[in-house]
Structure 1
Amino acid sequence: MDCENGADTSTRKRKLCRLVVLSFALLCILQATLNISLRLAFYSSDTTTTPDCEAIIKNLTKQQDMKMNELACYIQQGWIYFNHSLYYVSSTKNTWNDSREDCLQRGADLVIINSREEQNFIREFKTRTWIGLTDAEKEQTWKWVDGTTLTISFWDTDEPNSLVRDEDCAEIYFYRRENSWNDTPCGRKNVWICEKKM
């Protein structure tokens, strides 16, 4: 009896082993079929989107070409490119308001200084110049021409001081120093710098 029972158990184990091997083989075949199907699906979707990708690339290239042409045009008109902005330095002097009006007519505005690098770049023009900063709306609340409040500043020592009545406009005065800003009356005549973001 024990011998028959042992043979029976051995046969069951072999059948179970074959079933496991067969199941594993079927799973491998199923996995391979799924991989092939998915690759074919991705390949066919890639080929259908290729013309769209090419169109996007062509469009980007056209946009870059247009930007380069626009940039070249501005540079021919005397604008200077620095750090994603164009700058125009006037050759004459005017009041702060008239200077701003000139910038607006050029599709720009008086320069807004957002960093130490930009401050040092503007100082390189080595002239007393208007910047787009004023407290005309509310005394001692300095705002840029785009309406943003002053966060980084380069005022000279003891500036702004409203030493003379109604010193509501900011200028670069002490251009040899990094902290070169001065407040002065807006009716004074200075060179000005326009800035146009690219």
Structure 2
Amino acid sequence: MDNRYKPDASARMRKLYRLAGVSLGLLFILQAALNISLRLTFHVTTPDFKGIIKNLTEEREELKRELNISDAKTSDSETMIKNLTEESDEMKRKLNISDARTAHFKAMIKNLTEEREELKRKLNIFDARTAHFKAMIKNLTEEREELKRKLNIFDNYIQQRWVYFKHSFYYISSTTKSWQDSRNDCLQRGADLVIINSKEEQEFMRQFKQRTWIGLTDRETEGTWRWVDGTLLNTSYWATGEPNSYQGRDEDCGEIRFYGSENSWNDASCTSQKYWICEKTVAF
């Protein structure tokens, strides 16, 4: 091989040294740049560890203090829970007693309610009976008062010499008058001359055994006999041959003459003086 092309060993070494020196220089420059960069970076982004530590320490102490408070509170809470539990158990015990009493009271209330309803039922019956008795007493009282009233009327008429027969009072005079005067006397007494409506009343009139005027006349229309209340004569008890206007006399008024027989009536002159019978009907 040609020696021109073989490098010199010393030259080659010198190149290596230069290359190494340059490399070392570059390394120093890079190191310096890196140091500067690190200082800048550390200065800008590194936290304040002392402040952080201080804050963390303060937070730790605060947490410990709060923890102590919490522990105290926990202890108080446990005491409260214990007390509440005991109170709850006591209330449950009392509630059980109360439930028992409530059941007892409910039973008592039920019984009393049933008794009340039974008493109300009996009271209603009693009230109904009382109302019935009150009505009876009221009716009896009214009847008693009515009887007293009638008795007073009866006594009053009896004292004035009236006689009672079948819902009517009869007054038999002790003097004699004409038919019209006799009727006027009856009217003054609140009555009128007797009207005979039945066989029983006719028999009752005969018992007085007196010739007496009765409330019968044909003065308005001859031959048409009417009672003093205006009603026509239907059932009569004329004696045989009566009425006859004896010997042509004006005999327009009726009397009981033949009281010994059932047919006892006679027509007579209205001016004749005779006893009379008044009748007053009383609704008893």
Alignment match, 2:205: 122
1:146 and 2:218 are equivalent in the alignment: no
TM-score (norm 2): 0.52
- The residue identity in structure 2 corresponding to 1:146 is D
TM-score, normalised via structure 1 length:
0.74
Q: 1:56-95 to 2 correspondence within 5 Å?
A: 56-95=139-178
Q: Distance in 2 between matches of 1:152 and 1:46?
A: 52
Counterparts of 1:99-114 in structure 2, within 5 Å, are 99-114=182-197
Structure 1: runs of 5+ lacking an equivalent:
1-39
Equivalent residue pairs, number: 160
Deviation at 1:42, TM superposition (A): 8.5
| Pair 1:176-2:282 in alignment | no
Cα deviation, residue 41, structure 1:
8.4
Q: 1:56 offset after TM fit, Å?
A: 2.4
Residues in 2 aligned to 1:51 and 1:186: alpha-carbon distance in whole angstroms: 58
- Which protein has the larger Cα radius of gyration, Structure 1 or Structure 2? 2
Query: Which aligned pairs between 1:23-42 and structure 2 lie closer than 5 A?
Result: none
Bigger helix fraction: 2
Helix, strand or coil for the counterpart of 1:107?
coil
CA distance in 1 between counterparts of 2:165 and 2:207 reads: 12
| Letter of the 1:150 counterpart | L
Q: Which has the higher strand share?
A: 1
- The equivalent residue for 2:58 is none
Question: For the residues of structure 1 that align with 2:255 and 2:143, how far apart are their CA atoms?
Answer: 40
Distance 1:155 1:41 in 2: 67
1:103 aligns to what SS in structure 2?
helix
Within 2, Cα distance between the matches of 1:69 and 1:158?
A: 45
Deviation string, structure 1 residues 103-148 (Cα, Å, up to 9, x no partner): 0101111111111111111111111110000111111111111111
| CA-atom RMSD in angstroms | 2.0
Q: Which amino acid aligns with 2:269?
A: P
Shift of 1:45: 5.2
How far apart are the structure 2 equivalents of 1:122 and 1:69? 25
Counterpart of 1:63, as a letter, is E
Deviates more, 1:113-122 or 1:95-104: 113-122
The alpha-carbon deviation at position 48 of structure 1 amounts to 3.8
4+ runs deviating over 6 angstroms: 40-43
Which of structures 1 and 2 has the larger relative contact order (alpha carbons within 8 angstroms, sep 6+)? 1
